Amino acid sequence: MVTPGDPAPAFTVPMAGGDGYDDVSERSLSELLSDGPIVLAFVPGAFTSGCTDELQTIDASMDRFRRRNCRVFGVSVDLPFAQNIWMERAGFDIPLLSDWNHELIHAYDVVYPDMYGSIESAERSVFVIDRDGIVRYRWMRGDENPDFDVFVEDLIAEIDALD
């Protein structure tokens, strides 16, 4: 299990940028950390209401993350092409990392083994990783989704604590 103080598991995955169906490029953890700390927001699946609500709420506060030199990336097991369409339809601009081969959900120990009774997906979870690649914060959903507005406030407080 990845916990605060651990090095973040390295990866290289496709990233959906949101500018059209085929806006896909590869990104590594080290590239993502080159500009400062990051937030990885693992979500169970594209086009679902809870995941859409979470990423729209985070997106509405992106200026606050940017002022802290922190970037946010969503992570799901969906293909990047589907992620691009989801971003367009839902109206958020958070780049999405595609864990289509399920390596990240296993490396970060956030496997939701039985989504809709049939597929392996990501547990709703969030990691804050500092610029040195160390996990500084880990959150996993309990029984219910949190109030996402309150959750974003708590997440920003965790980022402020990095300084």
Q: Is the dihedral of CA 75, 76, 80, 85 positive or negative?
A: negative
Contacts of 2 (CB under 8 A, 6+ apart): 8, 9, 107, 108, 109, 127, 135, 138
Q: Are 41 and 108 in contact (CB under 8 A)?
A: no
Please give the C-alpha separations between residue 4 and each of 1, 10, 72, 107, 137, in angstroms, as whole numbers.
10, 15, 18, 14, 5
Catalytic residues: 51
Amino acid residing at 121 = S
Token duo for residue 92: 């958020």
